[in-house]
Each structure stands twice: as structure tokens, then as C-alpha cells.
């Protein structure tokens, strides 16, 4: 993509788009030569995969069946 059509946008919005694109270019140029950051990993490896259901199971159960103290 070489152009973004902003002809029907108000001038302040069009300028904001231009400034945003420029800021993104500067950020990419600043970080462009860096390797992706190394994220921490659990040292014991994995025992399987977790899906959204397993991750949020307790939260969803609490919303459906609130526990009363």
C-alpha cells in the first residue's frame, strides 16, 4: 500500500493520520534492527496446551454460580 486516502476527512484528522504514520515509521526505524525480545519461559517445560475455556474456567464458573461467603 502506497497511499492512504484521507481526502474526505477534516484537516485535523488527516494531519493526525499523517503524524501517526510518521511516528510509526520512526518507531520501526528505531527498533528495526533489534531482535525480538526473549520472553520468560517456564523452566520445567509444558505438559499440554491450555485453551481459553481452561484459562477462564474458574472466572466463568464464579460468574455463573457466585459463591457466597
> Terminal CA-to-CA distance of the chain, rounded, Å?
58
Q: Helices marked H in the chain — which ranges? A: 11-31, 52-64
Q: Does 51 score more than 90 pLDDT?
A: no
pLDDT digits (tens, 9 = 90+) for 26-46: 888 776 666 666 778 778 877
Please give the Cα distance from 54 to 60 (Å, whole number): 10
Entry pTM: 0.43
Backbone CA torsion sign across 36, 51, 49, 41: positive
Please give the Cα distance from 28 to 23 (Å, whole number): 9
Please give the Cα distance from 21 to 4 (Å, whole number): 10
Amino acid at each position: 500500500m502506497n497511499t492512504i486516502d484521507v481526502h474526505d476527512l477534516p484537516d485535523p484528522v488527516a494531519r493526525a493520520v499523517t503524524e501517526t504514520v510518521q511516528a510509526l515509521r520512526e518507531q520501526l526505524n528505531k527498533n528495526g534492527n533489534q531482535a525480538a525480545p526473549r520472553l520468560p519461559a517456564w523452566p520445567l517445560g509444558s505438559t499440554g496446551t491450555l485453551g481459553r475455556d481452561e484459562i477462564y474456567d474458574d472466572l466463568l464458573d464464579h460468574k455463573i454460580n457466585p459463591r457466597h461467603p
